[in-house]
Structure formats: structure tokens, C-alpha cells
Amino acid sequence: MSAAAEHPLRLTSARRLAVTDEAGHLADLVRLVLLTGATERLHRPGFGPGLGASALFEPLPQLLDGLLEMRTKGALERELAGRVLVDRITVTRLGESTLEVTVDYRPLRPPGPAASVSARLEA
């Protein structure tokens, strides 16, 4: 599975149509929800957990980590309802200006093995 999100349908270098597998597509959807900042989408300002620069410039005590975990879980459950079951979310501070968010989830449609996606947000 690649670290960058891919469109489910794309052209290969050989100019043929390629399709991302279901597990890879679902991981891409989770990653896109994580990386979408507050008000970044014009017609859906509530999309995403808002883990962008505003969260990075706050001091990150344990209470803020818990708040970010709750906002992330809420955004994933709202945007990917019926597709994933979120098992655990971990927010880790890496240095002064970097957050790493790890989401452990299980695909629901179609059912599949547990998976994990990480996203790193830097100021």
C-alpha cells in the first residue's frame, strides 16, 4: 500500500487503466479524511477532523491529545460510516511542530482484516 492517496481508477505508464484494490482504496479514504483541514472544502466545511496548523501551534498537553483523538474518531465515523469500524486512534507529538496520527480500523464493507493508517502533519 502506498503512502500517497491514489484515485481508484488511474492510467498506468503503459497507458492502461489500473484499479486500486478495495483495501488500498479504503486506506486512501481514511488518509484523506485525516489530512483534510478545517474549512478546506468549500461546500463541506465540517469535513475532516481539523488536525492542521491550528492544532500544531497549540501546546499539546494530554487533554489536547484526547480532544484530537475524539475529533478524529468523530470525523472518520461521520465520513466513512458503514465502511470502517475504528478500533483505536493514537495521536503522538514528534518534536515541536509535528503530529503523527495512527488509526487502527477494520473494514466493514466488504469485511476484511484489521488495518492501520498513519499520517504525519508538519507545520
CA distance 55 to 57: 6
Give the pTM: 0.78
Contact 27, 115 (CB under 8 A): yes
- Residue 121 near residue 71 (C-beta atoms within 8 A): no
The C-alpha atoms of residue 21 and residue 19 are separated, in whole angstroms, by 6
Report pLDDT digits (tens) over 53-98. Answer: 666 666 656 677 788 888 899 999 999 988 999 999 998 888 777 8
Lowest-confidence pick of 11-15, 17-21, 35-39, 54-58? 54-58
* pLDDT in the model for residue 60: 55
How many helices (H) does the chain have, and how many strands (E)?
3, 5
d(CA 78, CA 47): 9
Q: Who contacts 93 (Cβ-Cβ below 8 Å, separation ≥6)?
A: 60, 65, 99
Range 38-44 average pLDDT: 77
Whether pLDDT at 39 is above 60 = yes
- Average pLDDT (15-44) is 83
Three-class secondary structure of residue 62 per DSSP: helix
Q: Where are the alpha helices (DSSP H) in the chain?
A: 22-35, 53-56, 62-79
Mean pLDDT score of the chain, rounded to an integer? 82
As given in the structure block, the three cell numbers for residue 88 are 483505536
